[in-house]
Amino acid sequence: MTTTGKVIKCKAAVAWEPNKPLVIEEIEVAPPQAKEVRIKIVATAVCHTDLYHLLENKQKDGFPIVLGHEAAGIVESVGSGVTEIQPGDKVIPLFIGQCRECRFCKSPKTNQCVDAWKGTGHHDVMAPPDSRLTCRGKTLLQLAGTGTFSEYTVVGEIAVAKIDPAAPLDKVCLLGCGVCTGYGAAVNTAKVEPGSTCAVFGLGAVGLAAVMGCKAAGAKRIIAVDINPDKFEKAKVFGATDFVNPKDHNKPISQVLSEMTDGGVDFSLECVGNVEVMRSALESCVQGWGVSVIVGWTELQNISVPPLQLIAGRTWKGSAFGGFKGRDEVPQMVKAYLNKKLKLDEFITHNMTLDQVNDAIELMKHGKCIRTVLNVSS
Protein backbone atom coordinates (compact mmCIF):
# COMPACT_ATOMS: atom_id res chain seq x y z
CA MET A 1 0.00 0.00 0.00
CA THR A 2 1.45 3.32 -1.02
CA THR A 3 2.19 5.92 1.65
CA THR A 4 2.39 8.84 -0.78
CA GLY A 5 0.31 11.78 0.40
CA LYS A 6 -0.44 10.15 3.73
CA VAL A 7 0.80 10.71 7.26
CA ILE A 8 3.34 8.03 8.20
CA LYS A 9 3.51 6.74 11.76
CA CYS A 10 6.99 5.55 12.58
CA LYS A 11 9.61 5.19 15.29
CA ALA A 12 11.95 8.01 16.31
CA ALA A 13 14.25 8.90 19.18
CA VAL A 14 12.90 12.09 20.74
CA ALA A 15 14.82 14.44 23.02
CA TRP A 16 12.11 15.97 25.18
CA GLU A 17 14.47 18.07 27.30
CA PRO A 18 18.19 18.79 27.76
CA ASN A 19 20.49 16.35 29.55
CA LYS A 20 17.95 13.53 29.57
CA PRO A 21 18.02 10.20 27.69
CA LEU A 22 16.25 10.12 24.34
CA VAL A 23 12.88 8.37 24.29
CA ILE A 24 11.86 5.96 21.53
CA GLU A 25 8.42 7.20 20.48
CA GLU A 26 5.87 6.65 17.76
CA ILE A 27 5.74 9.90 15.82
CA GLU A 28 3.73 11.20 12.86
CA VAL A 29 5.53 12.39 9.73
CA ALA A 30 3.33 14.51 7.48
CA PRO A 31 3.62 14.36 3.68
CA PRO A 32 6.19 16.66 2.09
CA GLN A 33 4.94 20.08 1.03
CA ALA A 34 6.12 22.09 -1.97
CA LYS A 35 9.85 21.71 -2.65
CA GLU A 36 10.20 19.10 0.12
CA VAL A 37 11.28 15.47 0.16
CA ARG A 38 10.24 12.69 2.55
CA ILE A 39 13.05 10.22 3.18
CA LYS A 40 13.11 6.75 4.70
CA ILE A 41 16.28 6.85 6.80
CA VAL A 42 18.30 3.64 6.46
CA ALA A 43 21.36 4.56 8.53
CA THR A 44 22.40 7.49 10.70
CA ALA A 45 25.54 8.11 12.73
CA VAL A 46 25.93 9.89 16.06
CA CYS A 47 27.96 13.10 15.77
CA HIS A 48 29.32 15.29 18.55
CA THR A 49 27.02 18.10 17.42
CA ASP A 50 24.07 15.93 18.49
CA LEU A 51 25.63 15.71 21.96
CA TYR A 52 26.36 19.44 21.94
CA HIS A 53 22.68 20.23 21.46
CA LEU A 54 21.52 17.66 24.01
CA LEU A 55 24.10 18.26 26.74
CA GLU A 56 25.58 21.73 26.32
CA ASN A 57 23.11 23.98 24.51
CA LYS A 58 21.07 25.68 27.25
CA GLN A 59 18.26 26.94 25.00
CA LYS A 60 15.02 25.54 26.43
CA ASP A 61 13.11 26.33 23.23
CA GLY A 62 15.34 23.81 21.42
CA PHE A 63 13.12 20.94 22.63
CA PRO A 64 11.40 18.61 21.94
CA ILE A 65 13.64 17.69 19.04
CA VAL A 66 14.69 14.80 16.85
CA LEU A 67 18.48 14.86 16.77
CA GLY A 68 20.64 13.33 14.03
CA HIS A 69 22.02 14.93 10.89
CA GLU A 70 24.61 12.46 9.50
CA ALA A 71 22.53 9.99 7.54
CA ALA A 72 21.55 8.31 4.31
CA GLY A 73 18.27 6.94 3.07
CA ILE A 74 15.81 6.33 0.25
CA VAL A 75 13.26 8.84 -1.01
CA GLU A 76 9.70 7.78 -0.15
CA SER A 77 7.83 10.69 -1.78
CA VAL A 78 8.31 14.25 -2.98
CA GLY A 79 6.26 17.42 -2.78
CA SER A 80 5.11 19.60 -5.66
CA GLY A 81 7.80 21.40 -7.60
CA VAL A 82 10.55 18.88 -6.81
CA THR A 83 12.32 18.16 -10.09
CA GLU A 84 15.66 16.46 -9.43
CA ILE A 85 14.66 13.88 -6.84
CA GLN A 86 12.32 10.92 -7.34
CA PRO A 87 10.92 8.22 -5.07
CA GLY A 88 13.42 5.38 -4.83
CA ASP A 89 16.50 7.58 -5.14
CA LYS A 90 19.31 7.02 -2.65
CA VAL A 91 20.12 10.31 -0.93
CA ILE A 92 22.10 12.00 1.83
CA PRO A 93 20.31 14.80 3.74
CA LEU A 94 22.37 17.98 4.08
CA PHE A 95 22.58 20.27 7.10
CA ILE A 96 23.79 23.06 4.80
CA GLY A 97 21.61 23.19 1.71
CA GLN A 98 22.49 24.47 -1.74
CA CYS A 99 19.81 26.41 -3.62
CA ARG A 100 22.17 27.06 -6.57
CA GLU A 101 20.53 30.45 -7.13
CA CYS A 102 21.75 32.85 -4.42
CA ARG A 103 24.97 34.88 -4.62
CA PHE A 104 26.75 32.48 -2.26
CA CYS A 105 25.79 29.40 -4.26
CA LYS A 106 26.93 31.08 -7.46
CA SER A 107 30.32 31.92 -5.94
CA PRO A 108 33.13 29.34 -5.94
CA LYS A 109 34.46 30.98 -2.76
CA THR A 110 31.93 29.52 -0.30
CA ASN A 111 29.44 26.75 0.39
CA GLN A 112 27.13 29.03 2.37
CA CYS A 113 23.59 29.48 1.02
CA VAL A 114 21.07 32.23 1.77
CA ASP A 115 18.06 29.92 1.48
CA ALA A 116 19.72 27.20 3.54
CA TRP A 117 20.29 29.55 6.45
CA LYS A 118 16.70 30.76 6.21
CA GLY A 119 15.65 27.16 6.68
CA THR A 120 18.11 25.96 9.30
CA GLY A 121 19.53 29.19 10.63
CA HIS A 122 17.68 29.28 13.94
CA HIS A 123 21.18 29.20 15.40
CA ASP A 124 20.41 29.32 19.08
CA VAL A 125 18.51 26.03 18.88
CA MET A 126 20.16 24.73 15.69
CA ALA A 127 16.77 23.93 14.14
CA PRO A 128 14.19 25.68 11.97
CA PRO A 129 10.87 26.44 13.68
CA ASP A 130 8.83 24.59 11.03
CA SER A 131 8.65 20.81 10.93
CA ARG A 132 6.55 17.96 9.50
CA LEU A 133 7.26 15.81 12.57
CA THR A 134 4.86 15.62 15.52
CA CYS A 135 4.47 13.50 18.65
CA ARG A 136 1.76 13.56 21.31
CA GLY A 137 0.30 16.61 19.59
CA LYS A 138 3.55 18.58 19.79
CA THR A 139 5.72 19.74 16.90
CA LEU A 140 9.16 18.13 16.97
CA LEU A 141 12.08 20.30 15.91
CA GLN A 142 14.62 18.73 13.54
CA LEU A 143 18.28 19.26 14.34
CA ALA A 144 19.92 21.25 11.53
CA GLY A 145 16.71 20.86 9.53
CA THR A 146 17.24 17.11 9.13
CA GLY A 147 16.32 15.13 12.29
CA THR A 148 17.55 11.71 11.22
CA PHE A 149 17.13 9.74 14.46
CA SER A 150 13.83 8.70 12.91
CA GLU A 151 12.62 6.09 10.46
CA TYR A 152 11.27 8.91 8.26
CA THR A 153 12.02 12.60 7.98
CA VAL A 154 11.14 15.51 5.69
CA VAL A 155 13.72 17.98 4.39
CA GLY A 156 13.84 20.70 1.75
CA GLU A 157 14.86 19.71 -1.78
CA ILE A 158 17.85 22.06 -1.55
CA ALA A 159 19.11 19.94 1.37
CA VAL A 160 19.18 16.60 -0.43
CA ALA A 161 22.14 15.12 -2.32
CA LYS A 162 21.20 12.39 -4.80
CA ILE A 163 23.90 9.73 -4.76
CA ASP A 164 25.06 6.66 -6.71
CA PRO A 165 22.52 3.82 -6.36
CA ALA A 166 25.42 1.41 -5.72
CA ALA A 167 26.43 3.22 -2.52
CA PRO A 168 26.11 1.29 0.77
CA LEU A 169 24.01 3.63 2.90
CA ASP A 170 25.41 2.36 6.21
CA LYS A 171 28.85 3.61 5.13
CA VAL A 172 28.22 6.75 3.06
CA CYS A 173 25.98 8.20 5.77
CA LEU A 174 29.25 9.47 7.32
CA LEU A 175 29.56 11.89 4.38
CA GLY A 176 26.52 13.77 5.70
CA CYS A 177 28.73 15.55 8.23
CA GLY A 178 31.92 14.34 9.91
CA VAL A 179 34.06 13.02 7.06
CA CYS A 180 33.24 15.82 4.63
CA THR A 181 33.70 18.39 7.41
CA GLY A 182 37.22 17.30 8.33
CA TYR A 183 38.45 16.24 4.90
CA GLY A 184 37.17 19.39 3.23
CA ALA A 185 38.62 21.64 5.94
CA ALA A 186 42.07 20.40 4.90
CA VAL A 187 41.56 20.22 1.15
CA ASN A 188 39.09 23.03 0.44
CA THR A 189 39.52 25.55 3.27
CA ALA A 190 43.14 25.27 4.40
CA LYS A 191 44.22 24.25 0.89
CA VAL A 192 47.01 22.10 2.32
CA GLU A 193 50.00 22.03 -0.03
CA PRO A 194 52.23 19.13 -1.12
CA GLY A 195 55.30 18.77 1.07
CA SER A 196 53.82 20.83 3.91
CA THR A 197 53.71 20.16 7.65
CA CYS A 198 50.29 20.00 9.32
CA ALA A 199 48.92 19.64 12.84
CA VAL A 200 45.43 18.30 13.55
CA PHE A 201 43.99 18.99 17.01
CA GLY A 202 41.42 16.42 18.11
CA LEU A 203 41.15 12.89 16.74
CA GLY A 204 37.45 12.25 16.63
CA ALA A 205 35.90 11.45 13.27
CA VAL A 206 36.28 15.05 12.05
CA GLY A 207 39.93 15.22 13.09
CA LEU A 208 40.75 11.84 11.55
CA ALA A 209 39.05 12.97 8.34
CA ALA A 210 41.22 16.11 8.45
CA VAL A 211 44.29 13.89 8.77
CA MET A 212 43.08 11.95 5.73
CA GLY A 213 42.57 15.23 3.84
CA CYS A 214 46.08 16.44 4.70
CA LYS A 215 47.51 13.18 3.39
CA ALA A 216 45.41 13.36 0.20
CA ALA A 217 46.70 16.91 -0.36
CA GLY A 218 50.30 15.69 -0.17
CA ALA A 219 51.42 16.86 3.27
CA LYS A 220 54.73 15.24 4.16
CA ARG A 221 54.33 15.52 7.93
CA ILE A 222 51.02 15.29 9.80
CA ILE A 223 51.15 15.76 13.57
CA ALA A 224 48.14 14.33 15.42
CA VAL A 225 47.37 16.08 18.72
CA ASP A 226 45.02 14.56 21.30
CA ILE A 227 44.88 13.98 25.06
CA ASN A 228 43.66 10.40 24.42
CA PRO A 229 46.68 8.34 23.27
CA ASP A 230 44.38 5.43 22.40
CA LYS A 231 43.48 7.33 19.23
CA PHE A 232 47.02 7.51 17.86
CA GLU A 233 46.96 4.05 16.25
CA LYS A 234 43.75 4.95 14.43
CA ALA A 235 45.28 8.27 13.30
CA LYS A 236 48.18 6.34 11.78
CA VAL A 237 45.70 4.47 9.56
CA PHE A 238 44.60 7.79 8.05
CA GLY A 239 48.12 9.13 7.48
CA ALA A 240 49.39 10.75 10.69
CA THR A 241 53.19 10.66 11.00
CA ASP A 242 53.73 12.13 14.50
CA PHE A 243 51.72 12.04 17.72
CA VAL A 244 51.62 14.53 20.57
CA ASN A 245 49.71 14.25 23.85
CA PRO A 246 49.61 17.71 25.49
CA LYS A 247 49.43 16.00 28.89
CA ASP A 248 52.95 14.67 28.34
CA HIS A 249 54.43 18.19 28.32
CA ASN A 250 54.76 20.94 30.91
CA LYS A 251 54.88 23.70 28.28
CA PRO A 252 52.22 25.07 25.91
CA ILE A 253 51.46 22.72 23.03
CA SER A 254 52.17 25.55 20.56
CA GLN A 255 55.71 25.72 21.93
CA VAL A 256 56.11 21.95 21.65
CA LEU A 257 55.02 22.01 18.00
CA SER A 258 57.20 25.02 17.26
CA GLU A 259 60.24 23.16 18.57
CA MET A 260 59.31 20.07 16.54
CA THR A 261 58.94 21.99 13.27
CA ASP A 262 61.53 24.77 13.26
CA GLY A 263 59.11 27.54 14.15
CA GLY A 264 55.64 26.13 13.62
CA VAL A 265 53.49 24.15 11.21
CA ASP A 266 52.34 25.37 7.81
CA PHE A 267 48.73 24.37 8.46
CA SER A 268 46.76 23.59 11.63
CA LEU A 269 43.20 22.37 11.98
CA GLU A 270 41.21 22.63 15.22
CA CYS A 271 38.64 19.82 15.32
CA VAL A 272 37.55 19.97 18.97
CA GLY A 273 35.23 22.95 19.39
CA ASN A 274 37.19 24.43 22.30
CA VAL A 275 38.25 28.09 22.20
CA GLU A 276 41.50 27.46 24.07
CA VAL A 277 42.45 24.77 21.58
CA MET A 278 41.54 27.14 18.73
CA ARG A 279 44.05 29.65 20.06
CA SER A 280 46.69 26.96 20.54
CA ALA A 281 46.17 25.80 16.96
CA LEU A 282 46.67 29.33 15.66
CA GLU A 283 49.80 29.87 17.76
CA SER A 284 51.19 26.55 16.53
CA CYS A 285 51.39 27.95 12.99
CA VAL A 286 54.61 29.38 11.63
CA GLN A 287 54.61 33.15 11.37
CA GLY A 288 54.69 34.60 7.88
CA TRP A 289 52.42 32.13 6.13
CA GLY A 290 50.87 29.69 8.61
CA VAL A 291 47.15 28.96 8.11
CA SER A 292 44.90 27.78 10.93
CA VAL A 293 41.34 26.55 10.36
CA ILE A 294 38.61 26.38 13.00
CA VAL A 295 36.48 23.31 12.33
CA GLY A 296 35.05 22.42 15.76
CA TRP A 297 31.62 23.87 16.62
CA THR A 298 30.82 25.90 19.72
CA GLU A 299 28.78 28.98 20.56
CA LEU A 300 29.44 28.94 24.29
CA GLN A 301 32.48 31.23 24.44
CA ASN A 302 34.29 33.93 22.49
CA ILE A 303 37.89 33.72 21.29
CA SER A 304 40.65 36.03 22.49
CA VAL A 305 44.07 36.19 20.87
CA PRO A 306 46.89 38.77 20.76
CA PRO A 307 46.64 40.71 17.47
CA LEU A 308 50.37 40.18 16.88
CA GLN A 309 49.64 36.52 16.12
CA LEU A 310 47.83 37.68 12.99
CA ILE A 311 49.91 40.76 12.27
CA ALA A 312 52.93 38.46 12.02
CA GLY A 313 51.39 36.87 8.94
CA ARG A 314 49.24 34.00 10.15
CA THR A 315 45.82 33.47 8.58
CA TRP A 316 42.81 32.34 10.63
CA LYS A 317 39.89 30.76 8.80
CA GLY A 318 36.67 28.97 9.60
CA SER A 319 35.16 25.97 7.82
CA ALA A 320 31.58 24.67 7.77
CA PHE A 321 30.95 21.23 6.24
CA GLY A 322 34.46 21.34 4.81
CA GLY A 323 33.53 23.96 2.24
CA PHE A 324 31.58 21.39 0.21
CA LYS A 325 28.60 22.51 -1.85
CA GLY A 326 26.44 19.60 -0.77
CA ARG A 327 24.18 18.79 -3.71
CA ASP A 328 27.01 19.03 -6.23
CA GLU A 329 29.99 17.68 -4.32
CA VAL A 330 28.74 15.09 -1.81
CA PRO A 331 27.85 12.75 -4.73
CA GLN A 332 31.48 13.13 -5.89
CA MET A 333 32.70 12.12 -2.43
CA VAL A 334 30.45 9.04 -2.61
CA LYS A 335 32.04 8.12 -5.94
CA ALA A 336 35.51 8.62 -4.46
CA TYR A 337 34.59 6.08 -1.77
CA LEU A 338 33.20 3.62 -4.33
CA ASN A 339 36.45 4.03 -6.32
CA LYS A 340 38.48 3.27 -3.16
CA LYS A 341 40.00 6.75 -3.10
CA LEU A 342 38.42 7.64 0.26
CA LYS A 343 38.25 5.70 3.52
CA LEU A 344 34.92 5.38 5.34
CA ASP A 345 34.72 1.90 6.84
CA GLU A 346 37.71 2.66 9.06
CA PHE A 347 35.76 5.36 10.92
CA ILE A 348 33.02 2.96 12.04
CA THR A 349 33.81 1.38 15.39
CA HIS A 350 30.27 0.34 16.37
CA ASN A 351 27.02 -0.65 14.66
CA MET A 352 23.78 -0.45 16.65
CA THR A 353 20.04 -0.06 16.17
CA LEU A 354 17.96 3.08 16.70
CA ASP A 355 16.70 1.55 19.96
CA GLN A 356 20.30 1.64 21.25
CA VAL A 357 20.78 5.37 20.57
CA ASN A 358 21.38 6.21 24.23
CA ASP A 359 24.14 3.59 24.39
CA ALA A 360 25.70 5.18 21.30
CA ILE A 361 25.54 8.62 22.96
CA GLU A 362 27.30 7.26 26.06
CA LEU A 363 30.08 5.78 23.90
CA MET A 364 30.71 9.15 22.28
CA LYS A 365 30.40 11.07 25.54
CA HIS A 366 33.22 8.99 27.03
CA GLY A 367 35.43 8.90 23.91
CA LYS A 368 34.93 5.15 23.42
CA CYS A 369 34.09 5.29 19.72
CA ILE A 370 34.96 7.10 16.51
CA ARG A 371 31.62 6.65 14.79
CA THR A 372 28.62 4.57 15.78
CA VAL A 373 26.24 3.89 12.92
CA LEU A 374 22.61 3.27 13.85
CA ASN A 375 20.83 0.95 11.44
CA VAL A 376 17.40 2.57 11.34
CA SER A 377 15.53 0.54 8.71
CA SER A 378 16.37 -2.06 6.09
Q: Average pLDDT in the 3-16 region?
A: 94
| φ, ψ for residue 93, nearest 5 deg | -70, 150
Residue pair 158/105 in contact by the 8 Å Cβ criterion: no
- Binning the chain into helix, strand and coil, the percentages to the nearest 5 are 35, 25, 45
Nearest in space to 181 (alpha carbons), one of 36, 293, 38 = 293
Residue 205 parent element (H or E): helix 205-216
What are φ and ψ of residue 141, in 5° steps? -65, 160
- Please write the tens of the pLDDT for every residue from 166-190: 999 999 999 999 999 999 999 999 9
| Structure letter (DSSP) for residue 14 | E
φ and ψ at 344, to 5 degrees?
Answer: -130, -45
pTM reported for the whole predicted model: 0.95
Buried b or exposed e, range 104-132, using 16+ CB within 10 angstroms: bbeeeeebbbebbbebbebeebbbbeebb
**CA dist., res. 98 & res. 378, Å (int):** 28
C-alpha dist (Å) from residue 141 to 160, 207, 264 = 18, 28, 44
Taking all residues of the chain, what is their mean pLDDT, rounded to a whole number?
93
At 332-359, the pLDDT tens digits run 999 999 999 999 999 999 999 999 999 9
Determine which helix (DSSP H) or strand (DSSP E) holds 267, and give its type and residue range: strand 267-270
pLDDT at residue number 122: 47
Q: What is the average pLDDT across 21-42?
A: 96
Find the angle CA(280)-CA(285)-CA(289) to the nearest 5 degrees.
Answer: 145
